[in-house]
Amino acid sequence: MIDGILLLDKPTDMTSFGVVARVRRVLSQQNGKKMKVGHCGTLDPFATGLLILCVGKETKNAMAYTKMDKVYEATIYLGKTSSTGDPEGELTDVSNYQPTRNEIEEVVKQFVGEIKQTPPAHSAIKVNGQRAYVLARAGKEVEIPERTVTIHSLEVVEYAYPEVKIRTHVSSGTYIRTLAQDIGEQLQTGAYCTQLRRTRIADWDVENAQSLGSFGITD
């Protein structure tokens, strides 16, 4: 490939930038020249699923892909909070209360539609020219402005305390880690995201994505 997009199924425990670097290396070797490759929307290291990679001249259009709606499947763990909103953070016990499925579904309904959300400090958002997570890891205070996002749909797929599995269709800029934390706050149990998978971006589905293994990438 010289110009266009690639659909990749990102594995867990790898950064989106790590995926780009590996694919760029392979494509550059195949084409005999250094290739331009960029991703269209970061996935956290613990998350898996669909990454759209722009290659060559198509990198100029990367922002258009970034702004598209997305669908995620996530597992929310009740009773604890995480300093990062995911398994990588410091966990704190909050409550051993076990809400019913009806209680959870009533709370979940409150998040459908246009909502206000404050992105996590441990995110790739730039603050004064630096990535927020770099500042947060350095112990510096990070202030990220609240933003308006749209939750088009949000459903409870499965519930077996302490885990709630959800599926949600959201606008660009929505943080599922923050959504999990906000749901836990409303339930007064605390919560954080233990698993996250992006299954769709606009009309592209992860089922049609390639694995890194298909590029001969094993590390």
Query: Is residue 186 located within the same domain as residue 86?
Result: yes
**Within 10 A of 108 (CB to CB), how many other CB atoms are there?**
21
Domain count within the chain: 2
Query: Is residue 45 located within the same domain as residue 16?
Result: yes
Tell me, yes or no, if 44 is annotated catalytic. yes
Q: State the pLDDT at residue 12.
A: 94
Active-site residue, from 3, 13, 44, 69:
44
Q: State the pLDDT at residue 57.
A: 93
Query: Is residue 17 located within the same domain as residue 81?
Result: no
Q: State the pLDDT at residue 41.
A: 85
In angstroms, rounded to a whole number, what is the distance separating the alpha carbons of residues 101 and 112? 17
Per-residue pLDDT of the chain (219 residues; tens, 9 = 90+): 678 999 999 999 999 999 999 999 999 998 889 999 998 888 989 999 999 999 999 999 999 999 999 999 999 999 999 988 999 899 999 999 999 999 999 999 999 999 999 877 665 666 666 665 565 566 666 677 788 999 999 999 999 999 999 999 999 999 999 999 999 999 999 999 999 999 999 999 999 999 999 888 877
Query: Is residue 182 located within the same domain as residue 75?
Result: yes
Strand, coil or helix: 182 = helix
Query: Is residue 87 located within the same domain as residue 163?
Result: yes
Q: State the pLDDT at residue 139.
A: 64
Q: State the pLDDT at residue 31.
A: 87
> Nearest-CA neighbor of 88 among 216, 202, 193, 185?
193
In angstroms, rounded to a whole number, what is the distance separating the alpha carbons of residues 193 and 179? 9
Q: Cβ contacts of residue 143 below 8 Å, gap of 6+?
A: 127
Query: Is residue 193 located within the same domain as residue 128?
Result: yes
Query: Is residue 183 located within the same domain as residue 210?
Result: no
Residue 172: give its domain's CATH number: 3.30.2350.10
Query: Is residue 124 located within the same domain as residue 189?
Result: yes
Q: State the pLDDT at residue 135.
A: 53
Q: Is it true that the peptide bond before 162 is cis, omega within 30 degrees of 0?
A: yes
In angstroms, rounded to a whole number, what is the distance separating the alpha carbons of residues 161 and 91? 17
Q: What are the E-state strand segments in 118-190?
A: 126-127, 130-131, 147-160, 163-170
Query: Is residue 57 located within the same domain as residue 77?
Result: no
Q: State the pLDDT at residue 48.
A: 97
Query: Is residue 208 located within the same domain as residue 117?
Result: no
Q: State the pLDDT at residue 6.
A: 94
Residue numbers of the domain that contains 99: 70-201
Contact 190, 78 (CB under 8 A): yes
Q: State the pLDDT at residue 119.
A: 77
Query: Is residue 55 located within the same domain as residue 117?
Result: no
Q: State the pLDDT at residue 219.
A: 72
Q: State the pLDDT at residue 49.
A: 97
Across 149-176, b (16+ Cβ under 10 Å) vs e yields bebeebebeebebbebebbbbbeebbbb
Query: Is residue 47 located within the same domain as residue 85?
Result: no
DSSP-H helix ranges across the chain:
16-31, 62-66, 101-109, 132-137, 176-187
The 3 state secondary structure assigned to 51-101 is EEEEEHHHHHHHHHHHCCCEEEEEEEEECEEECCCCCCCCEEECCCCCCCH
